[in-house]
Amino acid sequence: MRDPEHEQISREKLEQLQLERLQLKVKEVYERVPYYTQAFKSRGIKPADIKKLSDLTKLPFTSKLDFKKNYPLGLMAVPMERIVRIHSSSGTTDKPTIAPYTRGDIETWSEILARGLATAGITSKDIFQNAFGYGLFTGGMGYHYGVERLGAVVIPTSAGNTKRQITLMQDLGTTVLGCTPSYALIIGEVAREMGVDLRKTKLRLALCGAEPISEQMREDIKEGLGVDVISDYGLTEAMGPGVSIECPYHCGMHIPEDHFLVEVVDPNTGEQLPNGVQGELVITSLTKEAYPIIRFRTRDITSLNSEPCKCGRTLARMSRVTGRTDDMLKVKGVNVFPSQIENVLLKIEGVEPHYLIVVDRTEAFSCSDIEILVEVNDSIFSDKMQTIEKMEEKLRLALEAVLGIQTRIRLVEPKTLTRSEGKSKRVVDRSELSNLK
């Protein structure tokens, strides 16, 4: 354990530390960020009103919309002279989230990641091939600094150029591969095409993050790469990667609670939910300097567990993110998450881990029906029309049994759907479909 003082802290001591840090941070943003001054004033809140940790609920939420309204740097709490780096989310369809860092922020982030990597079982003896994208995206540089801080070797391959990734893995004796889960699948696929058995290399672990990963997808990556898979969770607004990370027991992702104060709330009412109940993750940063966040609504659906872990850490764990509040589809009154669909699809033989959910949205979350494009392997597709229809029917019934709604299934040929080296898009509006291909 890299930092037992914090990783094995008692709940009581942790809450005391969190309260002290929260009070300081609230005072700071109130005094320095006009947006927060206004938001607190409109609720009649002053920093002095935060007397105990449960007073957190008095503070207003911050949302993606607030980031957008304050684009690019309206929420910054320090002058530009103190900023040493700026990252950004991809923001392909919308204004991106800009993430500035002070020197102190980079230090903290590197340390959180080094601690996270150690939580995952990575040591200074490892060779970490960093296939997260370098550049504006937080993934590449974030991990890069974390791995260096841990004292392991980092190979900054970035994403893409997959054949070279595999050659380097063999030649340099890579022990840990870091990348998005969808890219891990691609690497497995390409290695197979190249006739390379990754089980015969020194690779022993894959660290996957930046997009949700289902149990089935984890199994597929394990199968493709022949190694164990550790999940990491992060978001640009909070810092980047490293907001939580699994230990080798795979029983949730540990959150560095000395840096992040987390809540899970009902996405509709905003009420806090007890541990173990699924809801929207809300994060307050306790140590960020440049861009602190207060009660930021992540839109990610998860649940918390504060029981001490088998690994000896007392820091709370969050469960795998099962969906996003904005991915949540309401189909004829039933809440459906893409991850549920994925779980069903990937259990069926012949189905490839590539699919696209096409919706006709009538309002925010509601849609009249959903159609799912599913890639199947060659053997099924080259078969008779009858086989295809039978398979479609099988998928339809399997989904109906789990979701309780009717869906339309269309099987597509292998490699039809767009592959992503970054975040995969699983849900599209029918109107966007023509632009996709």
Q: At its nearest, how many Å lie between Zn ion and the CB of residue 308?
A: 9
Residue entry with tokens 């007392």: 314
Q: At its nearest, how many Å lie between Zn ion and the CB of residue 114?
A: 17
Taking CB under 5 A as the binding criterion, the range among 96-104, 212-220, 305-313, 346-354 that sits at the site for Zn ion is 305-313
As given in the structure block, the two tokens for residue 274 are 């007890």
Q: At its nearest, how many Å lie between Zn ion and the CB of residue 249?
A: 5
Q: At its nearest, how many Å lie between Zn ion and the CB of residue 305?
A: 10
Q: At its nearest, how many Å lie between Zn ion and the CB of residue 307?
A: 10
Task: Single out the residue of 237, 323, 259 nearest to residue 116, CA to CA.
Answer: 259
Residue with smaller CB distance to Zn ion, 8 or 431:
8
Taking CB under 5 A as the binding criterion, the range among 244-252, 319-327, 388-396, 397-405 that sits at the site for Zn ion is 244-252
Residue with smaller CB distance to Zn ion, 144 or 218:
218
Residue with smaller CB distance to Zn ion, 247 or 328:
247
Residue with smaller CB distance to Zn ion, 168 or 311:
311
Residue with smaller CB distance to Zn ion, 159 or 230:
230
Residue with smaller CB distance to Zn ion, 116 or 323:
116
Q: At its nearest, how many Å lie between Zn ion and the CB of residue 122?
A: 14
Residue with smaller CB distance to Zn ion, 34 or 248:
248
Residue with smaller CB distance to Zn ion, 257 or 421:
257
The C-alpha atoms of residue 398 and residue 341 are separated, in whole angstroms, by 10
- For the chain, the distance separating the N- and C-terminal CA atoms, rounded to the nearest angstrom, is 47
Residue with smaller CB distance to Zn ion, 272 or 305:
305
As given in the structure block, the two tokens for residue 380 are 């099924």
Q: At its nearest, how many Å lie between Zn ion and the CB of residue 310?
A: 6
Residue with smaller CB distance to Zn ion, 205 or 351:
205
Taking CB under 5 A as the binding criterion, the range among 217-225, 246-254, 380-388, 421-429 that sits at the site for Zn ion is 246-254
Taking CB under 5 A as the binding criterion, the range among 200-208, 217-225, 227-235, 304-312 that sits at the site for Zn ion is 304-312
255 binds Zn ion (CB under 5 A): no
Pick out residues in 307-326 that bind Zn ion (CB under 5 A). Answer: 309, 311, 313
Size of the site for Zn ion (CB under 5 A): 4
1 binds Zn ion (CB under 5 A): no
Q: At its nearest, how many Å lie between Zn ion and the CB of residue 286?
A: 21
Q: At its nearest, how many Å lie between Zn ion and the CB of residue 313?
A: 5
Residue with smaller CB distance to Zn ion, 317 or 324:
317
Q: In the 3-class helix/strand/coil scheme, how is the chain assigned residue by residue?
A: CCCHHHHCCCHHHHHHHHHHHHHHHHHHHHHHCHHHHHHHHHCCCCHHHCCCHHHHHHCCCECHHHHHHCCCCCCCCCCHHHEEEEEECCCCCCCCCEEEEEHHHHHHHHHHHHHHHHHCCCCCCCEEEECCCCCCCHHHHHHHHHHHHHCCEEECCCCCCHHHHHHHHHHHCCCEEEECHHHHHHHHHHHHHHCCCHHHCCCCEEEECCCCCCHHHHHHHHHHHCCEEEEEEEECCCCEEEEEEECCCCCCEECCCCCEEEEEECCCCCCECCCCCCEEEEEEECCCCCCCCCCEEEEEEECEECCCCCCCCCCCEECCCCEECCCCEEECCEEECHHHHHHHHHCCCCEEEEEEEEEEECCCCEEEEEEEEEEECHHHHCCCHHHHHHHHHHHHHHHHHHHCCCCEEEEECCCCCCCCCCCCCCEEEHHHHHHHC
Task: Single out the residue of 246, 251, 267 nearest to residue 323, CA to CA.
Answer: 267
Q: At its nearest, how many Å lie between Zn ion and the CB of residue 400?
A: 37
Tell me the residue type at 33: V
Radius of gyration of the chain (CA): 22
- Identify the residue among 206, 225, 247, 329 touching Zn ion (CB under 5 A): 247
Q: At its nearest, how many Å lie between Zn ion and the CB of residue 319?
A: 13
The C-alpha atoms of residue 377 and residue 189 are separated, in whole angstroms, by 13
Taking CB under 5 A as the binding criterion, the range among 258-266, 301-309, 329-337, 404-412 that sits at the site for Zn ion is 301-309
The C-alpha atoms of residue 425 and residue 358 are separated, in whole angstroms, by 11
Residues at the contact surface with Zn ion, assessed by CB under 5 A: 247, 309, 311, 313
